[in-house]
Structure 1
Amino acid sequence: TPSSMSGLHLVKQGRDRKKIDSQRDFTVASPAEFVTRFGGNKVIEKVLIANNGIAAVKCMRSIRRWSYEMFRNERAIRFVVMVTPEDLKANAEYIKMADHYVPVPGGPNNNNYANVELILDIAKRIPVQAVWAGWGHASENPKLPELLLKNGIAFMGKLF
């Protein structure tokens, strides 16, 4: 049955039957077209990654993979990352993957990745349409999604 095929359908083209994966073969030109097509109201073209290390790398890789499959452009969604002096000194991989970076204070995470006021300030200043906080740091603070929502910025993560 079609429902058990997870989006795979047989399509007749002339005399040949061709398998089409409606989920993989569906593309749109841009995030704006995607939002319009699916009846959304918020276009996300720039995301602040409020985390570092492997968390930031995994997020950007996943979104870039999805972006390529959906828009045939892995850079349709751009990334802004927060960077401490320690991250810069370590030449962290996630910095190289980003489209833009914002220097933030080093030291304990309440100075940077767990500082919800700093994250909001950066998100508004750049500006970005969404923030991904990853795991740990500010992702565990229910104040972050509240502040972002009040300022019209999407929170990408678990809501409390």
Structure 2
Amino acid sequence: METVYALLQEKSIRDLSMEEIAKHAGVGKQTLYKWWPTKTALVMAMFHERAGATQEIAANNSTAENAIRGRVQRLIAAFNSPLGKIMADLIAEGQSEPDILKDLYQRHIGQRRAAAIAEVERGVTSGELRADTNAGLLIDALFGAIYYRLLLKSGPLTEHYGDELVDQVMLPLLV
């Protein structure tokens, strides 16, 4: 896993080979294939191991706005780390291998999206957010903008950007 993580700092998933991973890890290629049937499966396992280590639970006593603002800031920080490049590479690879996107969504993005939606719904229930707030659409607007910047590099992913984004999207919905 360490070898894959290190190599992906230098090259894309597409340019990485099982032979190169085995050589750098000091193992036989057969050993890799014993545990991971494909290079992509190995990269996904490494990604889920690394990304899972950064998963956190929001405090229940936090406002929905603060909980979402924290999620935005943590995602931006993750995307500014080596995991951001790996996420972008996985999404790129997923364009020709749809199973990658399916796995990425089921094991990573979908879980985090559901937790964020629950925080927004909690804010609606508590009266913090307008009753007509569409939680899924709100989360897609916020996090979609961050993924847009990650993938298209249309602007910097900074803490300031994250705060402005939350202000622009969420403040009109606050009661």
Q: TM-score, normalised by structure 1?
A: 0.26
Higher RCO by CA contacts (8 Å cutoff, separation 6 or greater) = 2
Pick the structure with more helix per residue: 2
Q: TM-score, normalised by structure 2?
A: 0.25
Pick the structure with more strand per residue: 1
